[in-house]
């Protein structure tokens, strides 16, 4: 599975869902989440190096996302992608173990930067269960396709679980109880990124 292809596939999914993501954000935030991410991932695709390791590609993509994505999304998504790249290091091939470490590193970075935990109606509510499901599948002997599929399913369940939550972080937290009843756009976009990973892994299984 090519990490460069993951960045490209993610950009395609975000572009296709940009309007919906921004509508979700309009209900509890600034209304620009989808368009900001679309701009950031499109720029990341353009910045991808033609040569080098998967880790290097993610570091470049992450740095580009930070510099081109507006709002709080830029640092969170960009630094998460950059951390994943650093976890992959100089490895020429991404296997299930390395990818698991990359996902764990991405989650740790998001939690450190956003000071968020599960249950606070953020992207962590999709990413944390995704990483946990990936690690559980890996421990059970799953291959890359099986682990990423488990992660994607868990991320989507986690995103849906944000509907009854009250936001505790970010702009949505200012709404108090009025934030209840809405999907968190960050959790939804995170689930899209993990699904892109799973789809590619399955195609190359």
Tokens of 26: 């309009």
pLDDT in tens, 138-148: 999 999 999 99
Tokens of 34: 């989808």
Residue 118, phi then psi, degrees to nearest 5: -60, 145
Q: Would you state the pLDDT for residue 35? A: 95
CA distance 194 to 131: 10
Q: Among 72, 26, 28, which residue's Cα sits nearest to residue 176? A: 28
Average pLDDT of the chain to the nearest whole number: 95
Average pLDDT over residues 87-93: 93
Q: Would you state the pLDDT for residue 118? A: 96
pLDDT in tens, 123-135: 999 999 999 999 9
Q: Would you state the pLDDT for residue 51? A: 84
The answer on pLDDT for 81 being more than 80 is yes
DSSP run (H or E) holding 79: helix 73-88
Q: Would you state the pLDDT for residue 174? A: 85
Q: Tell me the longest C-alpha to C-alpha distance in the chain.
A: 49
Instruction: Report the number of distinct structural domains present in the chain.
Output: 1
Tokens of 37: 């991410």
Domain of 110? 3-203
Contacts of residues 60-64 at CB distance under 8 Å and 24 or more positions apart, as own/partner, are 60/85, 61/7, 61/85, 64/40
Q: Name the packing angle between helices 33-47 and 54-68 (round to 10°).
A: 140
Q: pLDDT tier at 85 (50, 70, 90 boundaries)?
A: very high
Tokens of 199: 């789809």
Q: Would you state the pLDDT for residue 171? A: 82
The answer on pLDDT for 205 being more than 80 is no
What percentage of the chain has pLDDT greater than the value 90? 89
Q: Would you state the pLDDT for residue 167? A: 95
CATH number at residue 194: 1.25.40.340
pLDDT in tens, 41-52: 999 999 999 888
């Amino acid at each position: 599975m090519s990490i460069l292809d993951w960045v490209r596939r993610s950009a395609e999914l975000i572009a296709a869902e940009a309007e919906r993501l921004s509508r979700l954000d309009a209900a509890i935030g600034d209304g620009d989440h989808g368009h900001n991410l679309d701009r950031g991932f499109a720029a990341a695709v353009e910045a991808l190096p033609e040569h080098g390791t998967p880790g290097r590609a993610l570091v470049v993509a992450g740095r580009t996302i930070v510099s081109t994505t507006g709002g709080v999304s830029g640092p969170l998504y960009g630094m998460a992608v950059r951390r994943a790249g650093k976890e992959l290091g100089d490895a020429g091939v991404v296997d299930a173990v390395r990818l698991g470490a990359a996902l764990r590193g991405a989650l740790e970075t998001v939690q450190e930067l956003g000071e968020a935990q599960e249950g606070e109606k953020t992207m962590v509510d999709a990413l944390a269960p995704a990483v946990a499901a990936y690690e559980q599948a890996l421990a059970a002997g799953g291959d890359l396709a099986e682990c990423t599929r488990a992660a994607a399913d868990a991320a989507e369940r986690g995103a849906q679980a944000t509907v009854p939550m009250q936001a505790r972080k970010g702009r949505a937290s200012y709404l108090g109880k009025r934030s209840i009843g809405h999907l968190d756009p960050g959790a939804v976009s995170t689930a899209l990124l993990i699904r892109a990973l799973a789809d590619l892994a399955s195609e190359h299984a």
